[in-house]
């Protein structure tokens, strides 16, 4: 039984943030991150969680959640794009890739003043973490210098800071940390076996190397993935296993539901059943009990009922107020109305 497996810990944790590469269960490149008894969560154990009766899975996830987190609370983050479009990568889901015709207009780097104004508005509306994203393969040194100014200025407002800037070179994470960065987001996107179907311009190992740079710099890791990209349940289990076996697992785990954008290769992909998304939230909660599990991209397309099930399954963080306005943000008002209906409250800084 799954409960028995959980109580015994299912083996020991992996020894490194980058589990050994082996040749069993090969992908197209002949390698995949190791799934062995030395890892706390073998893929088969994670898939067994996915396969549980829905009510049993949700019940167990909520029990685990309450053991490690305050019930009925949610952490609010706001995300802003500080540099939009023109990315050279070929991620099949991304409208900011330069090679796809999606109608996204390129936008140069925002000024520090613009970012601080947006962050102050986000704080006023209840967000405690401000995330800054840029569409790069990886930042150049001049970009790092600009972003560190933004980080320091937002940090001075009394907010947690997060950045997602692509792959980091040695030493760049240290610079970000010295500027006051609390979290760095770098998603794995999917399982190692399915990765080549989504992106070809970056290796899976590149993502792991950036995560190691972040860890070595003493910055909290924000790392999750995207579901609804045509993957199987086994693929979703592989993604969660990979995340859960990082040592330590990420402090923040965003679970994204693919937002289909016309012009990207994944536009027209068969949509994922909403209950399968809820299952993914629950499995992430059980396998990474202390992490903040965030409802990320795709939440706007979910009904209130599905969002409520996600909170029941252990989600305790959301992106909030995506379109920042100084007054009368209707998305913020809708989110607050939903939290009020559910008897939930936002965490304070």
Active-site residue, from 14, 39, 222, 223 = 222
DSSP state string for 222-267: E--EEE-SS--HHHHHHHHHHHHTSSSPPSEEEEEEP---TTSTTT
Q: In 3-state terms, what secondary structure has residue 51?
A: coil
Our answer to whether residue 91 is catalytic in this structure is: yes
Which of 122, 120, 172, 121 shows the shortest CA–CA distance to 147?
Answer: 172
CB atoms within 10 A of CB 336: 17
Choose the catalytic residue: 162, 223, 279, 310: 162
The H or E element containing residue 4 is: helix 2-8
CA distance 317 to 314: 9
CB atoms near residue 7 (< 10 Å): 9
Render the burial of 280-293: b for 16+ CB within 10 Å, e for the rest: bbbbbbbbbbebbb
> What distance in Å separates the CA atoms of residue 215 and residue 219, rounded to the nearest whole number?
6
CA angle in degrees (0–180, nearest 5) for 166-169-175: 90
Q: Angle 114-105-327 (CA atoms, 0-180°, nearest 5)?
A: 40
- Name the active-site residue from 14, 39, 40, 87: 87
Which is the catalytic residue, given 14, 294, 299, 310?
A: 294
- State the chain's maximal CA–CA distance in angstroms: 56
Select which of 39, 131, 223, 310 is catalytic.
Answer: 131
HSE, side-chain direction, 13 A CA sphere, residue 223:
32
Q: Clarify whether 310 is annotated catalytic.
A: no
Helix (H) / strand (E) containing 134: strand 129-134
Active site residue: 14, 39, 94, 310, which one?
94
Helix (H) or strand (E) holding 319: strand 317-319
Q: Is the peptide bond before 248 cis (omega within 30 degrees of 0)?
A: yes
Tell me, yes or no, if 223 is annotated catalytic: no
How far apart are the C-alpha atoms of 260 and 330, rounded to whole Å? 23
Question: Residue with structure tokens 């940390």?
Answer: 177
Q: Which of 39, 91, 223, 310 is catalytic?
A: 91
The answer to whether 94 is a known catalytic residue is yes
Catalytically active residues are 87, 91, 94, 131, 162, 222, 294
């Amino acid at each position: 039984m799954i409960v028995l497996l959980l109580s015994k810990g299912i083996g020991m944790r992996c020894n490194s943030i980058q589990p050994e590469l082996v040749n069993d269960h090969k992908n197209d490149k002949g390698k995949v991150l190791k799934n062995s008894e030395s890892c706390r969560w073998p893929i088969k154990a994670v898939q067994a969680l996915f396969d549980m009766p829905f009510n049993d899975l949700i019940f167990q996830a909520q029990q685990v959640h309450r053991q490690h987190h305050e019930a009925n609370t949610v952490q609010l983050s706001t995300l802003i794009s500080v540099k939009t479009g023109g990315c050279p990568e070929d991620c099949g889901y991304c409208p900011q890739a330069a090679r796809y015709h999606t109608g996204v207009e390129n936008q140069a780097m925002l000024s520090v003043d613009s970012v601080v104004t947006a962050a102050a508005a986000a704080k006023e509306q209840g967000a405690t973490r401000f995330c800054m994203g840029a569409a790069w393969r990886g930042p150049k040194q001049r970009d790092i210098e600009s972003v560190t100014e933004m980080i320091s200025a937002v940090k001075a407002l009394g907010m947690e800071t997060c950045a997602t800037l692509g792959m980091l070179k040695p030493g760049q994470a240290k610079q970000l940390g010295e500027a006051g960065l609390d979290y760095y987001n770098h998603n794995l996107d999917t399982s190692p076996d399915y990765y080549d179907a989504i992106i070809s311009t970056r290796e899976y190992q590149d993502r792991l190397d950036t995560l190691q740079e972040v860890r070595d710099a003493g910055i909290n890791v924000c790392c999750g993935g995207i579901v609804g990209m045509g993957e199987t349940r086994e693929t979703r289990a592989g993604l969660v296993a990979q995340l859960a076996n990082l040592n330590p697992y990420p402090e923040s785990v965003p679970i994204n539901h693919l937002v289909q954008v016309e012009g990207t290769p994944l536009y027209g992909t068969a949509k994922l059943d909403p209950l399968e998304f809820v299952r993914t939230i629950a499995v992430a909660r059980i396998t990474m009990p202390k992490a903040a599990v965030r409802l990320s991209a795709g939440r706007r397309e979910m009904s209130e009922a599905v969002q409520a099930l996600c909170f029941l399954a252990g989600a305790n963080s959301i992106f909030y107020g995506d379109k920042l306005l100084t007054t009368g943000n209707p998305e913020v008002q809708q989110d607050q109305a939903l939290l009020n209906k559910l008897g939930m409250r936002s965490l304070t800084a």
